[in-house]
Structure 1
Amino acid sequence: MTTAVRLTADQETGVAVVTLDRPGRLNAIDLTMRDELRQVWRELRFDDSVRAVVLTGAGERAFCTGLDRDTAVAQPGSPYMADDPLLRVGPKSNDLWKPVIAAVRGMACGGAFYLLGECDFLVADTTASFFDPHTSYGMVSAYESVLMALRMPYGEAARMMLMGTAERISARRAHDIGLVSELTGPGEALAAATACAAVLAGAPPAGVQGTVRALWSAREPALHAGFAQAPHLIALGNLPGERQEELFAGRRGTFRTR
């Protein structure tokens, strides 16, 4: 059976690696990957042999490029009951309080921030870049903006979310502003993140998990407030799907990296 997510675990170190495995689609998230991620996070809650987790993407081109645009998402007719397919795709949303470290190589954009926003810290190699295309395609970046505003200086988050496809944040800049905690050479982010995870897995798990929960609790009030506004802002601000597709089809490949 073909799967969109790979899970490997090292029983000796207590580290599991979760890999987004759709490199041909730049690890974009379809509903199969979404459902498999939810299942993996929930499985890891019950596996006491796993004490730390690394999240990464397959291939060299992208960590994740968000929701697969070919994914059809059914929506209720009422604007009061909008469904966001990625809202509960991350580890914290699935009540996993073991530390999760992201290892980023290549592009991370759009819906990838649902995942990165719920990792405890990020390790990236020099090929990594970060951007959010929503505004360029007539869409409101709501949940992504809330998550990134809690991970970056406000001005940096605002610039990234508002500039759309015109600009990307380089790995170096992401490290300078604190979004990325460690910068590695090309192809070395996974090994560096795994080494950090092994240290965490070697400590008494109750203390580590309690610290993860305490750190997240510092963000929760702002997160809940922002998420409460998100559905209404999306309903008010998103262009119709046909117009979004026109903008996407007419996109230009030029951008500035800073």
Structure 2
Amino acid sequence: MSGDGGGDGLVIGVDKDTGVAVLTLDRPEKLNAIDLGMAAELADAWREFRFDDTVRAIVVTGAGTRAFCTGIDRDVVVPQPGSPYMVDDPLVAIGPKANDLWKPVIAAVNGMACGGAFYLLGEAEFVVADEAATFFDPHTTYGMVSAYESIYMAQRMPFGEVARMALMGTAERVSARRAYEVGLVSELTADGEALEAAVDCAAVIASYPASAVQGTVRALWLAKEAARAQALTHAPQLVSLGNLPGERQRGLFTGRRPGFRLR
């Protein structure tokens, strides 16, 4: 890959020969958690890809072996309006579909993918994961509503599996094998090989006529867009009404019990 861009937290590589771009969340020391700078970079990257006809397919992944992404950086402070009808979500525009990009996106998952990572997984066409990957949603454990995350996952997994993952919080993690069995993951690889497998898929897709590929992507999302859009309109109010105050959340986070069940 040739490095064609990126800044603090996000690295972008584009192979002009294959038409494949790789976006890497590059904060491994923070388990690739997303701060406000990275959130802005992601939105900018997806919008720029709309105008770059040399990029015909994209892979999104995380640096290191411990995590694909662990959602919002806990050190980020997001001031909120004093009304339950207005909520600022710093992750709401980090995905490709939120930025009107209809080129195919494949997620390559290594290590943990949890919470806000589902904004990215939920807007990818499909997910490739290595055997060591795990998936979980910590929101309820810390007194937070899993609204956007549950809505995104409800488009990709059976209802009962999404409900269990959201409600069990940090007590349980979904293994890559189980995620494959329920349809969240389309391909399992050996440890460390998810990115290569995803890039291989992306290269095949990028070799096809772009207009046909993008039309197919758009058709696929039209099949579920109405229900998804309707659900997402209610997410801000559910978060505003159900979340504990920040101090209570931080107390639950620092006092969390270690250990979890892998299934």
| Equivalent-residue separation in structure 2 for 1:229 and 1:211 (angstroms) | 28
How high is the TM-score relative to the length of structure 1?
0.98
Question: Residue in 2 aligned with 1:92?
Answer: 97
SS of residue in 2 equivalent to 1:219:
helix
Q: Which residue of 1 aligns with 2:80?
A: 75
- Identity between Structure 1 and Structure 2 (%): 68
Shift of 1:198: 0.3
Q: Is 1:138 equivalent to 2:143 in the alignment?
A: yes
TM-superposed deviation, 1:79: 1.9
The corresponding residue for 2:174 is 169
1:43 alignment counterpart: 48
Separation in 2, partners of 1:24, 1:174: 26
Residues 1:21 and 2:30 aligned together: no
The amino acid that maps onto 1:4 is: G
| Aligned with 2:190 (options 185, 189, 199) | 185
Counterpart Cα distance in 2 of 1:74 and 1:237: 17
**2:75 counterpart of 1:62:** no
Pick the aligned partner of 1:211 from 207, 216, 225. Answer: 216
Amino acid of the structure 1 residue aligned with 2:206: A
Where does structure 2 lack aligned partners over 5 or more consecutive residues? 1-5
Note the C-alpha offset of 1:2.
Answer: 5.1
Q: Distance in 1 between matches of 2:45 and 2:165?
A: 30
1:111 corresponds, among 104, 108, 116, to: 116
Distance 2:35 2:45 in 1: 15
Q: With the length of structure 2 as denominator, give the TM-score of the two structures.
A: 0.97
Q: Which residue of 2 aligns with 1:154?
A: 159
Equivalent position to 1:33, from 12, 32, 38? 38
| Residue aligning to 2:3 | none
Partner of 1:257: 262
- Deviations 1:184-242 (Å, cap 9, x if unpaired)? 00000000000000000000000000000111111111111111211121122111111
Mark the CA change 1:121 to 1:2 in structure 2 (over 3 Å): closer, same or farther. closer
Q: Matches of 1:57 and 1:169 in 2, distance apart?
A: 18
Unpaired runs of 5+ residues, structure 1, are none
3-state secondary structure, aligned to 1:176: helix
Match of 1:66, SS state, is coil
The amino acid of 1:205's aligned partner reads A
